[in-house]
Every structure is written in structure tokens, then in C-alpha cells.
Amino acid sequence: MRATFGARLRLAMAAHGPLCVGIDPHRSLLDAWGLPQDTTGLERFAMTCVEAFAGQVAAVKPQSAFFEVFGSAGVAVLERVLRELAAAGTLSILDVKRGDIGTTMAAYAEAFLGPDAPAAADAITLSPFLGYESLRPALDLAQEAGRGVFVLTLTSNPEGAQVQHALRDGRAVAGTVVDGATVDNAPAREEGELGSVGLVIGATVGTAVTDLGLDLVTANAPILAPGVGAQGGSAANLDEVFGAARGQVLASSSREVLAAGPSVRALTDHARRLADSLRA
């Protein structure tokens, strides 16, 4: 059996720095790169990103929606991106934010994590707001396949707090997500490994982790922290937001790095500089 996702992610972060770069081919970036608003432009954008980031950063995070908007041809490009990243030995985190119940959740899990997936990702993002245990089919399949998940916990959008900070029996909804991840990551913690059930916590959520009493160290979860760069997050923010759990944080940046394109060298150099600053 291959190493767990958590173990592979920790090695990748040690080798390349704690940075995940997004591939977000939204229309404004296609325009900025001088590319047509069609699948030809989409593929050139995506493959340029793969060339620039594969083997250079700890992980790459394609945003599924920006591929899906082009229909089945766009999804085919996304599948190629995932295959190319796998061939290069670079971890992929597919940002799909799936969440449902029962057989539907199981089908989502098979689509992205299963052995017969057209182009499986190393990890996917999940939405737990039908209840953390509603994600069980994906959690279990990811474990069986040696893959990972990142579960939305505290997002940086202002609307998120009305759900994520809400209390039930004195415990915030975000806290119940952390509790679930803590249980699922306990075996890895006992073996001295990083867990494979990660948490998505924005780099710009301020004091929310402390205010809500979230014990991220005990959760032993990799933490995907979007918002570094264009959204205002910085290495200093990460220290303030995550405290003792800072070593578990994989910072995510999309727009700031992608703005350096379309030059492959400029994209790579920008990503390396950002990774070095985060490591420092």
C-alpha cells in the first residue's frame, strides 16, 4: 500500500514549502493572458499552469467550476490536468466542495476518489453542512484509496459565519467539524503521521479559531488556508490565525500567482518566492 495522503503531503511541504497554487481559469484571467474564451484557451491556460507548477510546489488545486463552465470538453481538460499532475508526482487537490447524503454522496466519492475514477485527485474539498457524518462515504473511500479530503470549516466569506459560528448545545458548527476530523485522524496521530482528513480554514478569519475554541493541534489535520495574496492573507496572518497549528497549514494562493502569467518562468518564480516566504 502507498503512503497515506497526510504522509505524502507532509513530505511535499517539507520539500517544496507549505504552498498550494490554484488553477482558476476564470474568464478575466483568460483575457489577461490573451487567450480565447473557449476550450482552446482553457487548455492552454491549464497546461501552462501544469508546466509551471508541477514538481515546483507542494500541491496544485484546480477549481472544478471554472472547467465545468465549458461543458464536457472543459471537464475533459480538467481530467487531463489531474493526469498530468499525477504523472509529474505533484499532489492534486480538486476543489469541488461536494456534499450530500447516502448513495449520492457515495457517487460523488467514486467520481473523484475511487479506483475507477476517470482521473482521480489526491484529495478533494467537501462541504459538511448536511452534517459531518453525511460525508462518511467519501471519508471511508478516501482512506481505503490512500487519498485525502479537506472539509470546509471556517471560510473567509462574510456569510459563512452565520452557519459556521452557529451554536448547538454550546458548540459551534465549525467545532463539530473539527471534532469529526479529530476522531478520523486519531490513528495517524498515534503513528506520528499527519492525518488525511484536512480542514479548510481561511487565512483571513482573524481570531475565529481561538474564539470558537478549536483545537487544531489535537485534530492532527492538514489545514488548507485559502486567501494568501490577493485576498489579503500573509505569512503573518497564518501565525496569528493558527498559532501552534501553523506547521499543519498548507497556504493556498491563486490570483496572486496566476497574475504573473502567461510566462511559465514567471509563474514558477513567483510561486517559489511565495513558498519561500511562507517557509521562512
The yes-or-no answer on residue 97 being catalytic is yes
Q: What phi and psi, each to the nearest 5 degrees, are found at residue 212? A: -90, 0
- Residue whose C-alpha cell is 457515495: 106
CA distance 257 to 99: 29
CA distance 29 to 32: 5
CA distance 276 to 278: 5
Which long-range contacts link 259-263 to residues 24+ away (Cβ below 8 Å)?
A: 259/29, 259/32, 259/230, 261/29, 261/32, 261/33, 261/45, 261/48, 261/49, 261/52, 262/33, 262/34, 262/35, 262/45, 262/48
Identified catalytic residue from 26, 83, 97, 272: 97
CA distance 191 to 216: 17
Give the residue numbers annotated as catalytic, written as ranges: 97
